[in-house]
Chains A and B, each alone.
Chain A
Amino acid sequence: MTIPAIPTLDIESTRTWRHVVSVIVRDPLSLASLIIIVAFILMAVFANQIAPYPEQGAGKTNAANTMAPPSADNLFGADKLGRDVLSRVIVGARSALIIPIFVVVFAVLLGAPLGALAGYKGGWVDEVIMRITDLFLAFPSLLLAMAIAFALGRGLDKAAIALIISWWPWYTRIARGVAVGLRERYFVEAAQAAGVSDAVIIFRHILPNTISPILVQATVDMGTVILAMGGLAFLGLGTQPPAPDWGLMVSEGRTYMLNQWWIATYPGLAIFIVVLAFNLLGDTLRDIFDPRQYR
């Protein structure tokens, strides 16, 4: 026998932003995740002020210090060109973090309105948009991004474009799912009855309601996109040397893994921590916005 929800006590269904913040702050794991993410973002923004050797972080070589193990001077050691690994990790946070944020934001801006349009309009509009997304979703995202990045050529900007192209369909799907549910809701019909235009209905009545599921997905995706960026850099398709990038550093350092372990380990650890933080935060947000899954 299933137990129906108790509608009379549904006073928690109203999830305001203040409520979201209060839940995150009370849960140690998600609070830690939030702090880590904010710290890494601040680190990326103020990289030049924080890094002990900002110029080495950006790529200046220091032949005297080649493969130096961790010490007081180089806390994380130095790489094969003598550059301080700590500085490279800090400066590398820019491409590793800021770029994925841009990627996700643009993918959402492109994907969500299309999904809302598809879900609201239905019919052939829906068919066309969703079949296009199917086309994209048929390939594994990373593989697709690789192929596009390869076609566009090397470079950070091109890797970012490649990732946006392979990521937007996910948000289209989510937004469409929400919009289909809302299309039959009375407030949409009320707006139609008042003569409100379709564009206004989509932007004013439908899109705002897709924010929570998209935010959850985007947070979890941040981790995946960071990994994908790293992967592209690892393959030589993203950031180009001598610019620093966590994925690139892991790629360069992996040959020395046994003897000079610090070169690949520290950037790898940075990727691990940030991705984990985003995933944990995403899980918490999902619990808040969609508690049914975890009853």
Chain B
Amino acid sequence: MSVLLEVKDLNLEFKTSRGVLKALNGITFEVRRGEVFGIVGETGCGKTVTGLSILRLLPRSAKITKGMIKFDGINLLDLPPSEMEQVRGGKAAMIFQDPSSSLNPVFTIGSQLVRVIRQHTELNAKQAEARASETLDAVGLPDIKRIMTSYPHQLSGGQQQRVMIAMALSCRPQLLLADEPTTALDVTIQAQILKLLRDLQKQFDISVILITHNLGVVAQTCDRLAVLYAGRVAEIGSTHDIFNNPQHPYTRGLMNAIPKPGSRGKKMAAIPGTVPSNPGEMTGCPFAPRCEFAFERCSMETPALLKASEGHLASCFLVEHAG
């Protein structure tokens, strides 16, 4: 499978009134054509910022200081804003956690869809409308005529997220970025949306990046994933490898921290401490202060991504020792 998106050594800082916050400190991963790629991590690990960087939707206070984002052969960081606008929503589209705030409340679903389609394609009004209803049908919405003339508030949360997905797919992108697409939804609706994402990925033969904090969602949906910690990739590999043979102590800690059937009455394995507030300032492995296996070297130098097995890498010195 060929590579669609390559992110290499991405570094990003935020300027705040309290100084510089180094949010991303060398993120490297690649997304292949036709796969669902998961980006997992806890609050503040940089997963959302990574997603926004790819589409260059960053707030003004953010600055990419180093790195490369190669999408379909082009380095997106070199593109002028006008061309970037064509990529955004055209070849690559994004959906967010809260669908209700991503839809404009004063326009009907139909008119919003048609506008997006016409902005990115050569279709005329009639063709765009046909494309809109076709896409709404593809995301499994019933009674499309009614949906087209509805306003966002007339739809349920799950339906709104389907509309967002339809909007993202309406221009037939190659890449769909979904940032916590199911977090605001109930479990039964979440299951519907996740199944839909998988089905659409096959049907339209696109790549999907699924950004989430929920390991369960990743396990059920993704082909490969990257676990982020403190603005770095802690571990990357196939879902199968990472879940069955996690290499990084952080990944292992995360998995043990989820209550599982049969764990009742037992003490849960929590990761002590909290996430560092400005990881860019730390020397050594950012997870070392919370790591039960940390040794001297961990606080001195930062481990690079080391190969555990084919296609499975972790940034931990223990991998080296094991290998």
Contact = CB atoms under 8 A, between A and B. Distances in A.
Q: Do A and B come from one complex?
A: yes
Interface of A: 1-4, 6-9, 11-12, 19, 22-23
Interface string B30-62: 000000000000011110110010000101000
B84 interface: no
A1 B93 CA distance: 10
A6 B16 contact: no
A23 B46 CA distance: 27
Contacts, number: 42
16 contacts: A1-B88, A1-B94, A1-B102, A2-B101, A2-B102, A3-B59, A4-B101, A4-B102, A6-B52, A8-B43, A8-B45, A9-B44, A11-B277, A19-B17, A22-B17, A23-B17
A19 B49 CA distance: 26
User: What are the 9 tightest A-B residue pairs by CB atom distance, in nearest-first order?
Assistant: A8-B44, A3-B57, A8-B43, A4-B96, A2-B102, A12-B16, A9-B14, A6-B48, A12-B17
Nearest to B96: A4
Interface string B1-36: 000000000000010111001010000000000000
A46 B184 CA distance: 60
DSSP class of B's interface residues: helix, strand, loop or mixed? loop
A12 B16 CA distance: 7
Interface size class on chain B is: 20 to 34
B93 to A, nearest CB: 8
B61 to A, nearest CB: 8
Contacts of B110: none
Given A3-B57, A4-B96, A6-B49, A11 B102 contact: no
Nearest to B95: A1
Contacts of A9: 14, 16, 21, 23, 44, 49
A23 B88 CA distance: 35
Interface in B60-103: 88-89, 94, 96-98, 101-102
Contacts of A23: 17
A4 B55 CA distance: 14
